[in-house]
Amino acid sequence: MLQETELIERAKGGSIGAFTRLVEAYRERLFRFLLTRCQSHADAEDALQETFVNAYRYLYSYRAEWRFSTWIYRIAIRNASSQRSPEVREAPELADESNGPLEACIGEQSRRNIWLAAKRVLNEDTYAAMWLRYVEDMSINDIAVALERTESWAKVNLLRGRKALAAEITRVDAAHPEDIACG
């Protein structure tokens, strides 16, 4: 099996087959993340498509010293932001929380999913930082690069996000003890 760096080099050389292998490796991870960022399932699909198209188009600018996942997540985050209309960005409280793509993908049986709580209590960038850290196992430096922030910002907001999320989980567990029993 070809290594990621070799696939990237081949894709840089014009091999769409090599790039398709990269797409296959990243599409579900990115799609899962985009579902949590976008306002609808369709927006997440559009953002995923734009991410791969832009990545392929500008692959020449990718440098081997970067982690490919960081680079492509950075593109995805930009595309997710651009998918959202200005009205939604200015008035997020108008979004129907129960009908978002994340809620639809989690399903009824997992309504205590911690990422639903995260979406309630964290702002977008802190949420993304938490996702990149705890789901993608990115380093602080990679998170800062992906979110176009400083390392200090990433450290502080990861800490704050974690505290806020822990407090929210405690609050929810206290309010609905029957859910804990059900698992």
Q: Taking the complex as a whole, how short is the minimal distance between the CB of residue 143 and another protein, in angstroms?
A: 14
Is 172 one of the binding residues for another protein (CB under 8 A)? Answer: no
- What is the rounded distance in angstroms from the CA atom of residue 121 to the CA atom of residue 51? 27
CA distances from 35 to 46, 109, 148 (A): 11, 18, 21
Contact present, 105 and 35 (Cβ < 8 Å) = yes
How many residues line the site for another protein (CB under 8 A)?
A: 39
From candidates 9, 10, 88, 105, binder to another protein by CB under 8 A: 105
Residue 61 CA from chain centroid, whole number: 22
Write out the H or E segment, with its range, that includes residue 117: helix 114-121
Q: Which stretch binds another protein (CB under 8 A): 58-66, 67-75, 120-128, 150-158?
A: 58-66
Name the site residues for another protein (rule: CB under 8 A): 11-12, 14, 16, 19-20, 23, 27-29, 31-32, 35-36, 45, 48-49, 52-53, 56-61, 102, 105-107, 110, 113-115, 130-131, 134-135, 162, 166
